[in-house]
Amino acid sequence: MTGPRFTNLANSLPTTVPFIGPETQERARGRPFLARLGANENIFGPSPKAIAAMERAARDTWMYGDPENHDLRQALAAHHGTTADHIVVGEGIDGLLGYLVRLLIEKGDAVVTSDGAYPTFNFHVSGFGGELHKVPYLGDQEDADALVERAREVGAKLIYFANPDNPMGSWHPAEIVSRVVEKVPDGCLLVLDEAYIELAPEGTAAKIAAGDPRVIRMRTFSKGYGMAGARVGYALGSVPLISAFNKIRNHFGMSRISQAGALAALMDQTWLQQTQRNVASSRNAMTAIARQNGLVALPSATNFLTIDCGRDGNFARKVLQELIARDVFIRMPFITPHDRAIRISCGGEQELAVLAKALPLALAAARG
């Protein structure tokens, strides 16, 4: 009586996961966090109209969601001035990145990303046997030119480029992104992860023709629209690429409630504008808290602040631990020298009060 035979690839994969959820930490600690500021969730939440739409849809959960995501894709097409055949909706950007990698990457295929960028993308690349080539950041920014250069050198099939960036919160103006697109090598695809784009300054989102075969843009309702728990992402790209998702995706994978919520959220751009103001003012308040504690918050085009703790990674890790010990859930960048910083998602008034109280104590303890 033996067990199943896994593929060699599956056997070779580690059991580590990209992120530990805050609930796991709460269970381990035996008490809840007072401020949940680690997962770049949008505490200002979804539009009340989206909440109402989801409440209404709750009683319709006996029905599968529309596997074509027709209504949402039509609305997204109108929003982006394109047609629905350029859009695929999926279970968050994470889900869509998984599908994309599966379509393009097999054992030994080269993929380029930045060293320290989104680990869930790396998780998918390794999960399909791809070979990751990591380019250093240029300071606190992804090095756009180096990414395409490295892609050319290694014959990469895929480049990951986030704008704005996570975990540093930095961004490139649209012109730089357009220049990168122009330089994508033949047969290579640029994954432009724009998860935070709704929270970035005007002029950050590049104009890219819907049919451009060199790039696929990833968007989400998790950040600006405040619906991380609904798991709705979408990708914009050329028709042949977008339609290829239909060969492999979980066609009935979308929650019907989430479909309804995302549609209502998209229709309420006024709420998004209010969120943009809330996020900007929270960033300002958190920057002030950092400054009061002698720390420097990096400029951010997102709903989180990356705060330089002024020493090395060991010190920042101590600060993080001391904040967590004081019931403030945060995360931090993975690699040196970014790990000199901690990363704190924008909070509301209550969370900022908790942070303002905990940060000086955490710093003192870390310096201790």
Which among 251, 47, 326, 68 is positioned nearest to 344, based on CA atoms? 326
Spell out, one character per residue from 241 to 280, where the chain touches its own copies: x when CB under 8 A holds, - when not: x-xx-xxx-xxxxxxxxx--x-------------------
Q: If you search the block for the tokens 């969370």, which residue do you land on?
A: 351
Choice from 94, 194, 322, 351 touching its own copies (CB under 8 A): 94
Spell out, one character per residue from 5 to 24, where the chain touches its own copies: x when CB under 8 A holds, - when not: xxxxxx--xxx-xxx-x-xx
Dist CA 315 CA 312 (whole Å): 5
Stretch that binds its own copies, among 198-206, 235-243, 312-320, 333-341 (CB under 8 A): 235-243
Pick between residue 136 and residue 211 the one whose CB is nearest to its own copies. 211
Structure tokens at 174: 């649209």
Give least dist CB 217 to its own copies, A: 14
Q: If you search the block for the tokens 């959820």, which residue do you land on?
A: 21
Q: If you search the block for the tokens 């979980």, which residue do you land on?
A: 250
Give least dist CB 35 to its own copies, A: 13
Pick between residue 249 and residue 326 the one whose CB is nearest to its own copies. 249
Give least dist CB 48 to its own copies, A: 9
Give least dist CB 257 to its own copies, A: 5
Structure tokens at 215: 């790039």
Give least dist CB 133 to its own copies, A: 16
Choice from 46, 116, 224, 313 touching its own copies (CB under 8 A): 46
Other CB atoms closer than 10 Å to residue 59's CB: what's the count? 8
Pick between residue 86 and residue 214 the one whose CB is nearest to its own copies. 214
In sequence order, which ranges of the chain are alpha helices (DSSP H)?
Answer: 8-12, 22-29, 48-58, 70-80, 92-104, 119-127, 144-154, 174-183, 239-244, 256-267, 269-292, 313-325, 349-367
Dist CA 196 CA 180 (whole Å): 19
List Cα–Cα distances, 109 to 104, 212, 232, in angstroms.
Answer: 9, 22, 28
SS3 assignment, position 147? helix
Give least dist CB 67 to its own copies, A: 5
Choice from 32, 60, 350, 367 touching its own copies (CB under 8 A): 60
Q: If you search the block for the tokens 């090095």, which residue do you land on?
A: 143
Choice from 28, 30, 31, 59 touching its own copies (CB under 8 A): 59
Choice from 42, 114, 122, 220 touching its own copies (CB under 8 A): 42
Choice from 29, 32, 55, 284 touching its own copies (CB under 8 A): 55
Dist CA 94 CA 218 (whole Å): 10
Choice from 189, 199, 242, 290 touching its own copies (CB under 8 A): 189
Q: Judge contact between 196 and 301, C-beta under 8 A.
A: yes
Q: Judge contact between 166 and 136, C-beta under 8 A.
A: no
Structure tokens at 163: 């704008």
Dist CA 5 CA 190 (whole Å): 35
Looking at residues 63 to 82 of the shown chain, list those that interact with its own copies (rule: CB under 8 A): 63-68, 70
Pairing of strands 110-114, 215-220: unpaired
Kindly determine how many residues on this chain lie close enough to bind its own copies according to the rule CB under 8 A: 91
Pick between residue 241 and residue 342 the one whose CB is nearest to its own copies. 241
Spell out, one character per residue from 139 to 178, where the chain touches its own copies: x when CB under 8 A holds, - when not: ------------------xx--------------------
108 binds its own copies (CB under 8 A): no
Structure tokens at 35: 């401020």
Choice from 28, 31, 108, 186 touching its own copies (CB under 8 A): 186
Give least dist CB 64 to its own copies, A: 5
| Rg of the chain (C-alpha set) | 21
Q: What is the identity of the amino acid at 314? A: N
Looking at residues 281 to 340 of the shown chain, list those that interact with its own copies (rule: CB under 8 A): none
Pick between residue 252 and residue 312 the one whose CB is nearest to its own copies. 252
Looking at residues 196 to 225 of the shown chain, list those that interact with its own copies (rule: CB under 8 A): 212-214, 222
